[in-house]
Amino acid sequence: MYKIMLTCKQATFLISIRSFQRLNLVHRIQLKLHFMACKTCHDFNHQSQIIDKSLVDLYQNDNFQSTEKLSKEKVSQIKETVNQHIK
Amino acid sequence: MAEKQKFTCDPNVWVDEYSDEFFRFTMYRVKNREVAEDLVQETFLSALKSIDKFRRDCPEKSWLYNILRNKIIDHFRKKANQEIKYSSSITDQDEDSFFNQYFNKDGNWAIDDSAESWKISADKIMERDEFMQFLMLCLSLLPEMWAKVFSLKNIDDLSTKEICKELNITPSNLWTIIHRAKLQLRGCLDKKWRNQ
């Protein structure tokens, strides 16, 4: 028989793994009920979503508005260093 | 990033084609011109050394990006070593003592530390440069294998089954790693975020 009320440790476990795997219906209901009773886990869930979104941004976002460039001197210097390593 | 696959294997072409873009990518994360320049240069040198290992079934640019990302993480890891030493103590801890930091015997929070400062929306938080800086720093404080789980998921887009195979761990190990990593990341970010 399922114990319907989760502990905070169990709730944070489900919150953590949900970005890797979809939770089943029972777990989703258990989490919802837990959030009604526990503000800290409710906040943890919010923070966990921020972290997940930021990780996606960190690993995948290659589009920046910045137009900063390396100086021509630096580019030549890098080429020179790279070429020294080829030889 | 739907991009035509290009294999030049010519380091001089890499420098011409990618150095400005890599520099902006790095600057966004490290906020230091000199460090960013060095990391871009080191990326090309590392790529040169490991060119034999380059799998031609993936685009050259993505391969170079992965090297650069690892360089940036290493940079933060070195920086982190000069700061608080979380990671070494936590890697060696057994499961119980790790969770005892956060939860009491009944499995509920040992301390109620819900953070008011996180109350703004995800988009607003992510717009703040400091947050991404803290994230990089906190990520670098995780044991290497834990951080690897996130990069396999987000960069390589592997399924959980594939991640387990790649790291040679069971699904249950993987869930524990994700749980511990998330608790530690959140704790570290919270601390940084409050003290900024």
Residue type, B194: R
Chain A CB contacts of B69 below 8 Å: 59
Residue A21 lies in a domain: yes
Rounded CA separation B87/B77 (Å)? 10
Mean pLDDT of all residues belonging to chain A: 86
Write the burial class of residue B131 (CB in 10 Å: 0-12 exposed, 13-18 middle, 19+ buried). Answer: buried
Closest to B45 (Cα-Cα) out of B91, B90, B14, B3: B14
pLDDT tens-digit readout, B42-100: 999 999 888 877 766 667 888 898 899 888 878 877 766 654 444 444 444 577 788 88
**Would the CB atoms of B107 and A86 count as touching at under 8 Å?**
no
What ipTM describes this predicted complex?
Answer: 0.78
Query: For residues B132 and B172, which has the higher predicted lDDT (pLDDT)?
Result: B172
Computed from CA positions of residues A13, A15, A19, A24, in that sequence, does the dihedral angle turn out positive or negative?
A: positive
Least confidently predicted of B59-63, B170-174, B192-196: B192-196
Residue A73 lies in a domain: no
Q: pLDDT > 90: what percent of chain A?
A: 47
Query: For residues A69 and B55, which has the higher predicted lDDT (pLDDT)?
Result: A69
Domain ranges in chain B with CATH number 1.10.1740.10 = 11-81
Helices vs. strands in chain B: H and E counts, helices first? 10, 0
Calculate the CA B46 to chain-centre distance.
Answer: 19
Q: What is the pLDDT of residue B175?
A: 93
Residue type, A84: Q
Counting one residue from A and one from B, how many pairs have CB atoms under 8 Å apart?
145
Contact with chain B for residue A60, Cβ under 8 A: yes
What number is the average pLDDT over the span B167-172? Answer: 88
Tokens of B70: 């690892």
Residue type, B177: I
Instruction: Specify the CATH class of B87-195 in words.
Output: mainly alpha
**Would the CB atoms of B37 and A21 count as touching at under 8 Å?**
no
Q: Which domain holds residue A17?
A: 1-59
Q: What is the pLDDT of residue B1?
A: 44
* Yes or no: domain B11-81 corresponds to CATH 1.10.1740.10: yes
pLDDT > 70? residue B6: no
Rounded CA separation B12/B149 (Å)? 33
Least confidently predicted of B19-28, B125-134, B147-156: B125-134
B66: Cβ–Cβ under 8 A, 6 or more apart, which residues? B155
Domain ranges in chain B with CATH number 1.10.10.10 = 87-195
Residue A5 lies in a domain: yes
Chain A CB contacts of B184 below 8 Å: none
Q: What is the pLDDT of residue B146?
A: 86
pLDDT tens-digit readout, B106-151: 999 987 666 555 766 666 766 667 787 788 888 878 887 888 788 7
Residue A40 lies in a domain: yes
Q: pLDDT > 70: what percent of chain A?
A: 86
**Would the CB atoms of A51 and B186 count as touching at under 8 Å?**
yes
User: Into how many domains does chain A fold?
Assistant: 1
Q: What is the DSSP letter of B103?
A: B
